[in-house]
Chains A and B, each alone.
Chain A
Amino acid sequence: MDRFLAGVERRAYRMAWIATSNREDALDIVQDAMLRLVKNYAGHPEAEWGPLFQRIVQSVIRDWYRRHQVRNRWRQWLGFGKGVADDEAAGDPLETTIASPAPGPDGRLASQHAIDALDAALHALPLRQQQVFLLRQWEGLSVADTAAAMGISAGSVKTHYSRAVQTLRDKLEDHWP
């Protein structure tokens, strides 16, 4: 189990980071997902751990997202702190990222620029689209496997994926290095 988790934890962290844009929250999500897998499925065949872990990670991310929305709502009701409306008023992070200085001859800088732009564009997607895109395009899951991991229908997966791809192309295609 330790070896399995070591092999999947970084990718899970990146997915959580894209959803939360917060390192501590992303680390919490990964640890929570690992704990749930170990507690409930350590006795299952190793071949099942991958799909189960994917399903748990996506579920924990959605739980985080709901709690985040509720906290924002309560903060707004109570009249303190920063809510979603403030986040939106602060501007689209993607615009800021794309507007940053053009990459220089340093390949690493160009690469980091592309990573930042993609992260921002993915983060700006509705959560479902973001999750479906990452599972399909990055994890390489089939439509059926993505639907199983997300607990949604295959038709919904296709719709979310198509919308995500269109939005990302519109935002990024002209800016890729």
Chain B
Amino acid sequence: MNERQDDFLRTTATVLDEAEHGIDGATRTRLAAARREALAAAERPRRPLWLLPAGGLAVVATVAALTVGLWQVQPVDDGLAALEDIALLSDEADPAFYADLDFYTWLADGAPPLEDDNG
């Protein structure tokens, strides 16, 4: 039983290695470009909070209005869930700003257990 499981697990590791080595050239090029972009972006100064684009605020406002409207038609199970939805969807208004905010919150919380999202 254990021997069969060990064989199975060895095979999965081998297959995963093969898949990694088999990543196509176009994707490798994109990864290299993403790396260069990440390294370059880290060199750029951060945008001040007050420069949050008006477009981003408009997205947040639209999502909030939509939430209130939908709430009246179909109440959400948990009020907090709708607020979380706003936060997640408005994430796209200014990814860099909100991503950093998420990250700092995560760091401040010491990466608490998140057992409830899946699995």
A positions within 8 Å CB-CB of B:
1-2, 5-6, 9-11, 13-14, 23, 27, 30-32, 34-40, 42, 55-56, 59, 62-63, 65-67, 70-71, 73-74, 77, 111-112, 114-115, 118-119, 125-130, 134, 137-138, 151-153, 156, 160, 163, 165, 168-169, 172-173, 176
The answer to whether A73 and B85 touch (CB under 8 A), given A62-B114, A65-B117, is: yes
Which residue among A13, A119, A125 has the maximum number of chain B CB atoms within 10 Å of its CB? A13
The number of residue pairs between A and B whose CB atoms lie closer than 8 Å in the complex comes to 144
CB-CB under 8 A from A11, the residues of chain B are 20
Of B13, B103, B118, which one neighbours A65 at CB under 8 angstroms? B118
Q: How far is the CA of A73 from the CA of B82 in the complex (A)?
A: 11
Q: Are B99 and A31 in contact (CB under 8 A)?
A: no
Interface centre among A9, A35, A151 (most CB of B within 10 A): A35
Q: Tell yes or no: B62 within 8 A of A by CB.
A: no
Judging by beta carbons under 8 Å apart, are B20 and A70 in contact?
Answer: no
B68 in contact (CB, < 8 A): no
Residues of B contacting A160 in the complex (Cβ-Cβ under 8 angstroms): 119
Asked if A38 and B39 sit within 8 Å, CB to CB, the answer is yes
**Nearest chain A CB to B47's CB is how many angstroms away?**
13
**Does the CB pair A9–B34 fall under 8 Å?**
yes
Q: A43 to nearest B CB, angstroms?
A: 11
- A9 contacts B35, CB within 8 Å? yes
**Residues from chain A with Cβ under 8 Å of B113 in the complex:** 151-153, 156
Asked if B65 CB lies within 8 Å of chain A CBs, one says: no
- DSSP class of A's interface residues: helix, strand, loop or mixed? helix
- On chain B, the residues within 8 Å of A23 by CB distance are 27
Q: Are A13 and B31 in contact (CB under 8 A)?
A: yes
Report the bound CA distance from A67 to B99 in whole Å: 12
Q: Closest 6 CB pairs between A and B?
A: A126-B119, A151-B111, A128-B119, A31-B34, A34-B38, A38-B42
Q: A27-B31, A118-B12 are in contact. Are A14 and B106 (CB under 8 A)?
A: no
Q: Say if the beta carbon of B54 comes within 8 Å of chain A.
A: no
Q: A23-B27, A63-B102, A151-B112 are in contact. Are A30 and B13 (CB under 8 A)?
A: no
**A111 contacts across to B, CB distance below 8 A:** 15, 18, 22
Interface residues of B in 82-119 (CB under 8 A from A): 84-85, 88-89, 91, 95, 99-100, 102-103, 106, 110-115, 117-119
Q: Decide if B52 is an interface residue (CB 8 Å cutoff).
A: no
Q: A2: nearest residue on chain B (CB-CB)?
A: B39
Residues A152 and B115 in contact, CB atoms below 8 Å apart = yes
With the chains together, A65 CA to B117 CA distance in Å?
A: 9
Report the minimal beta-carbon distance from A155 to chain B, rounded to whole angstroms: 10
- Closest CB in chain B relative to A104 CB, distance in Å: 17
- B8 contact set on A, CB distance < 8 A: 165, 168-169, 172-173, 176
